[in-house]
Amino acid sequence: MKTDLEISQSVVAKHIRDIAEKLDIPENQLEYYGTNKAKLPLSLIKKEKIKDANLILVTAITPTPAGEGKTTTSIGLGDGLNRIGKKALTVIREPSLGPVFGIKGGAAGGGWSQVIPMVDINLHFTGDFSAIEKANNLLAALIDNNIRAQKDNLGIDPRTVLWKRCMDMNDRSLREIISGLGGKAGGLPRETGFNITAASEIMAILCLSENFEDLKTRIGNIYIGDTWEGKPVHARELNAEGAMAVLLKDAIKPNLVQTLEGNPALIHGGPFANIAQGTNSVLATKMGMSLANYVVTEAGFGADLGAEKFLNIKCRSAGLSPKAVVLVATIRALKYHGGKALDALTEPDTEALQAGFPNLERHLASLKSFGLPVVVSLNRFSSDAPEELELLQAHCKALDVPVALSEGWAKGGEGCTALAEAVVAAADKDAKPFTPTYNLEDSIREKMEKVCRTIYGAKHVILSNKANSQLRRFETLGYGQLPVCMAKTQKSLSDDEKKLGRPENFDINIREFEIAAGAGFIIPIAGNILRMPGLPLRPASEQIDVDSQGNIKGLF
Amino acid sequence: MKTDLEISQSVVAKHIRDIAEKLDIPENQLEYYGTNKAKLPLSLIKKEKIKDANLILVTAITPTPAGEGKTTTSIGLGDGLNRIGKKALTVIREPSLGPVFGIKGGAAGGGWSQVIPMVDINLHFTGDFSAIEKANNLLAALIDNNIRAQKDNLGIDPRTVLWKRCMDMNDRSLREIISGLGGKAGGLPRETGFNITAASEIMAILCLSENFEDLKTRIGNIYIGDTWEGKPVHARELNAEGAMAVLLKDAIKPNLVQTLEGNPALIHGGPFANIAQGTNSVLATKMGMSLANYVVTEAGFGADLGAEKFLNIKCRSAGLSPKAVVLVATIRALKYHGGKALDALTEPDTEALQAGFPNLERHLASLKSFGLPVVVSLNRFSSDAPEELELLQAHCKALDVPVALSEGWAKGGEGCTALAEAVVAAADKDAKPFTPTYNLEDSIREKMEKVCRTIYGAKHVILSNKANSQLRRFETLGYGQLPVCMAKTQKSLSDDEKKLGRPENFDINIREFEIAAGAGFIIPIAGNILRMPGLPLRPASEQIDVDSQGNIKGLF
């Protein structure tokens, strides 16, 4: 069997100018990065076009650790829509570099549903992550530089600094550090650490910003810590937002690439889906909707995390609403939720499958709470037995939800035409704008309770003492009107990753809060959320090599 | 008076395709980064062309803290050579991003002798520094990951790890840190720190590598620390070189830009000039020599550091030899060496000027020791008095060294035609390949003594006890054949920055050694060398801004 890299290298990429032409973008609007990548100017965003475009969200049931193929489905669906004659475009996240050297596997789709050039996309791409890193780390340097000043400083109490540095690398040794050692020349020692770049608030900000002004305002609003008197200090007090925005002057522009079938795709931004909104930039989505009639996009992890935040945070902020939602389900994941062991998922087992249906039903109910048409995409794996596929399809019919086989991995767009037809039919129903789960005027506690009950099926939200006191403080500071960005495990609808299927009678325990005042959300944290991954004992990097001609092997 | 940024923005840049055409590079060889930057494939390097090209090194007398305009002269000279009908190309270093936010001032030339697009060049450019950072930091993550492993590890003693992380940011708080805190999840605590990216050995390696194979070999040779038994451990034992080279697959390619006058320039790599070789990549120099008849290049700081390393390290490693050397001198710097106060350098003072001549003479003698023709470039400042200019020119004539006024800053290439003519005349003498200051077979101590006597005019080299024992160990390990890369202050010919002019009767004190086994040199350290700069109390970042249209202000 060919690897993803081999498949991607077997296809001759078209010049990106020809891809742009499909979207009627004149060549002089392209900022080339080689012949297969280009940045696009923000002037391509046209308000009047956006309202007529069909935004399609791809989300998933609760995934197995391997993931259920949301990105592959998004790319395949884009190709499928093009195959049935629609002007369609896939708009997705940029992958993070760090994990490439840890566990083998890229993040640009898979099989015959990939975006290319996949090596570049998985490495430095057009430099967006590096620019975000620099903006993030400039603010950190400015904070420490202000702290070391004996006069004319902001009086920041170094013990309260919330802002961390970031690096797009799986480097567990940087999670917790003491910086500023070495005497006067090193500033002032304090405890701090690094996040991976995808977990940086700058990433979340860039992906919610509408333009340079908005970007600067959001950066200025970043809450970096408190003064010795306990007053909040923001990035704007350091006059940091201008220089940070300059560092992001190119990163703010969406990136045009192509699918293996030569259809256009925009890739832009990649915030984490647990502590951030987990979906590509607002600007890329709006640009996509200005350039095509159907824009397929995805949101990280299961619908409980990705779709909820996509709608309540991103779409609300950007004034967008999808016309339909695709819920990716796999036989293997449903069997997993039905109690089948992870290493036995390739064995046919209709009983386990049936026992896993409630997970699907829970997500369908959540999506219906938004008032949006849903299509189930049955992402086919070679191990799926015919009776399993039939059983799931029959179950969806009984639930009165459209279902389509999706074979993007094995067949590319050809394997997604049935899904494309079902999506067009669903979008044609012209649903009203989605109903948010909560109102911004609700208290933070009400917002959390509504999400936990409506989306997760939980009973109560329990706050630790620490969380309670943080909540009071954030409300006092005027942050009560922000949406909530729930940080919980993606492995369960509950906050306990061992509770598979459709857990019942559970509470969500909020250990503490974080605030992303610049991005514009409060982050209730349920459980341990890793912001800096580590490398496995045998890192994938050991297999990666480049020959004398610059040919790469061992990557993915 | 216009700022450098305003001047650069007043010129309409040509499409980089048109610049490439001047060098007979077909468009399909260009890897565009926008319309004004392109990466060039290594296949443009042609051995048979290199031997016929005239390599011109631009170096300087001991500089004042403001610098004496080497880069400006290099760019102006390239333009001047084009003006007198030569096919000429400037090949220089990429600037570092970190200092941009500290002290105002870019590093892409000045006045009417600049390379453009100067904002991009001073910011992320084509991502080379970021790629170097990632390769450097991947190795650091792999080292800590190996240390935390309970079995199948290399047995690295964490107290001996020499390899540091890097970041292209002026961030003094990262100079010395303790990493790996937070219990088992954070690895193993140890003392470490960050260098600025330009000071990373990866930067030095990239700039000395001849191709991918050489790059991987050099990376594999990096000496990262010792085992608990005291045996050296290298990057190759971590199987790191393949993945690190993959991260550098684009960074290895030279970047084509243009001067304000639309002449081609290559910018590639930017290693520090104190602890590394301080000059652009071998690949860019060789590519330049394959594409043009005259290649003007520069090396950091004064001739004692820059030219010495350019010749004894870079040219020896690459098998190159310049046809002529341009020694940049300024009236202001000579007066400074003659005892004039830094804040009074604009006052005419022929006495101070004359008293400063010995500094010029010392550098001329050093350069003559290499057997190369020298031209003095009198880099004119508006404050220079006519009698001062005449005095210096007369002095050069008395010394029998050609001298030419250089007015690149004020007049661009037009101000450098006299210099260009003098350089062509000097290069036409067709000097023999340069005579190195030492042989690689000399002992490390002999190498240091030869450099200190011949180039600095020192009497003896004094080693601390620590340096002595390090030296014995490095020789035992087989590193005795490497060249030496002296790390000393650029402010004086001696190791004491207060000794201006031409110090006499001084010794050079070597505090300790470092080794860059991958780059291939031993670094004798005389005095304190900063590998991670800090921000000033009022950082330049506060003035930097971008408007809603993406226009940048306050930068430079």
Residue type, B518: G
Binned at pLDDT 50, 70 and 90, residue B106 comes out as low
Distance of CA A99 to the CA centre of its chain: 15
- Cross-strand pairs, B116: B258
Alpha helices in A149-211 (DSSP H): 201-208
* Over residues B265-277, mean pLDDT: 94
In this prediction, what percent of chain B has a pLDDT beyond 90? 91
Active-site annotation holder among A37, A39, A104, A332: A104
Strands B255-259 and B54-60 turn out to be unpaired
The distance of B509 to chain A (nearest Cα, Å) reads 23
Q: Which residues of A touch B247 (CB under 8 A)?
A: 123-124
Residues in chain A: 556
What pLDDT is recorded for position A499?
95
Q: Which residues of B touch A547 (CB under 8 A)?
A: 212
CA atoms within 13 A on the CB side of A509: 10
What pLDDT is recorded for position B104?
64
Give the fold, CATH level 3, of A128-247: Domain 2, N(10)-formyltetrahydrofolate synthetase (3.30.1510)
CA–CA separation, A129 and B247 (whole Å) = 14
What pLDDT is recorded for position A43?
97
Give B163-203 pLDDT, tens digit per residue: 999 999 999 999 999 999 999 999 999 999 999 999 999 99
Binned at pLDDT 50, 70 and 90, residue B2 comes out as confident
Is residue B7 helix, strand or coil? helix
Q: Which two tokens stand for residue B115?
A: 């390379």
Whether chain B has a CB inside 8 Å of the CB on A186: the answer is yes
Binned at pLDDT 50, 70 and 90, residue B150 comes out as confident
What DSSP state is assigned to residue B174?
G
Is residue B44 helix, strand or coil? helix
Lowest mean pLDDT segment, chosen from A194-198, B146-150, B236-240? B146-150
What pLDDT is recorded for position A527?
84
What pLDDT is recorded for position A152?
87
What pLDDT is recorded for position B451?
98
Give B430-475 pLDDT, tens digit per residue: 779 999 999 999 999 999 999 999 999 999 999 999 999 999 999 9
- Which among A163, A172, A237, A543 is the top mutation candidate for probing chain B, defined by the most B β-carbons within 10 Å of its own β-carbon? A172
Q: Which residues of A touch B44 (CB under 8 A)?
A: none
Residues in CB range of A199: below 8 A, 6 or more apart: A166, A271, A272, A275, A276, A531, A532
What pLDDT is recorded for position B105?
62
CB-based contact B113:B412 (threshold 8 Å): yes
Nearest alpha carbon to residue A360 among A434, A457, A430, A428: A457
Strands B255-259 and B38-39 turn out to be antiparallel
Query: Is the pLDDT assigned to residue B149 strictly greater than 80?
Result: yes
Active-site annotation holder among B125, B272, B301, B357: B301
CB-based contact B57:B299 (threshold 8 Å): yes
Is residue A21 helix, strand or coil? helix
- CATH number for domain B41-118+251-427, candidates 3.40.50.720, 3.40.50.2300, 3.40.50.300, 3.90.1010.10: 3.40.50.300
In the annotation, is B310 catalytic? no
Q: Cβ of A167 and B142 within 8 Å?
A: no
How many cross-chain Cβ pairs, A to B, lie less than 8 Å apart?
232
Give B469-489 pLDDT, tens digit per residue: 999 999 999 999 999 999 999
- Which among A210, A541, A553 is the top mutation candidate for probing chain B, defined by the most B β-carbons within 10 Å of its own β-carbon? A541
The distance of B344 to chain A (nearest Cα, Å) reads 30
Q: Give the H/E segment covering residue B359.
A: helix B350-369
Which of A495-508 are b and which e, b meaning 16 or more Cβ less than 10 Å from the residue's Cβ? Answer: bbeebbbbbeebeb
Q: Give the H/E segment covering residue A462.
A: strand A461-463
Q: Interhelix angle for A201-208 vs A128-148, to 10°?
A: 120
Location of each CATH 3.10.410.10 domain in chain B:
444-526
Residues in CB range of A275: below 8 A, 6 or more apart: A199, A485, A487, A514, A523, A525, A529, A531
Binned at pLDDT 50, 70 and 90, residue B351 comes out as very high
Q: Which two tokens stand for residue A442?
A: 């609700």
Active-site annotation holder among B273, B307, B426, B526: B273
- CATH number for domain A444-526, candidates 3.40.50.11750, 2.40.70.10, 3.40.190.170, 3.10.410.10: 3.10.410.10
What pLDDT is recorded for position B251?
98
Return per-residue pLDDT of chain A as tens, 556 residues.
788 888 988 999 999 999 999 999 999 999 999 999 999 999 999 999 999 999 999 999 999 988 889 999 999 999 999 999 999 999 999 999 998 898 766 678 899 999 999 899 999 999 999 999 999 999 999 999 999 998 889 999 999 999 999 999 999 999 999 999 999 999 999 999 999 999 999 999 999 999 999 999 999 999 999 999 999 999 999 999 999 999 999 999 999 999 999 999 999 999 999 899 999 999 999 999 999 999 999 998 999 999 999 999 999 999 999 999 999 999 999 999 999 999 999 999 999 999 999 999 999 999 999 999 999 999 999 999 999 999 999 999 999 999 999 999 999 999 999 999 999 999 998 779 999 999 999 999 999 999 999 999 999 999 999 999 999 999 999 999 999 999 999 999 999 999 999 999 999 999 999 999 999 999 999 988 889 999 999 999 999 999 988 888 888 7
**Tally of CB atoms within 10 A around A342:** 11
Q: Which two tokens stand for residue B177?
A: 């840190």
Is residue B95 reached through a cis peptide bond, with omega within 30 degrees of 0 on the bond before it?
A: no
Q: Mean pLDDT of all residues in chain B?
A: 95
CA–CA separation, B433 and B442 (whole Å) = 20
In chain A, the N- to C-terminal Cα span, in Å, equals: 13
CA–CA separation, B360 and B378 (whole Å) = 11
Location of each CATH 3.30.1510.10 domain in chain B:
128-247
Q: Which residues of B touch A137 (CB under 8 A)?
A: 167, 169, 171
What pLDDT is recorded for position A106?
66
Residues in chain B: 556
What pLDDT is recorded for position A489?
94
Nearest alpha carbon to residue A415 among A109, A186, A62: A109
In the annotation, is A165 catalytic? no
What pLDDT is recorded for position A104?
64
What DSSP state is assigned to residue B61?
S
Q: Cβ of B176 and A181 within 8 Å?
A: yes
* Over residues B55-80, mean pLDDT: 95
CA–CA separation, A93 and A301 (whole Å) = 13
- Which among A138, A216, A236, A283 is the top mutation candidate for probing chain B, defined by the most B β-carbons within 10 Å of its own β-carbon? A138
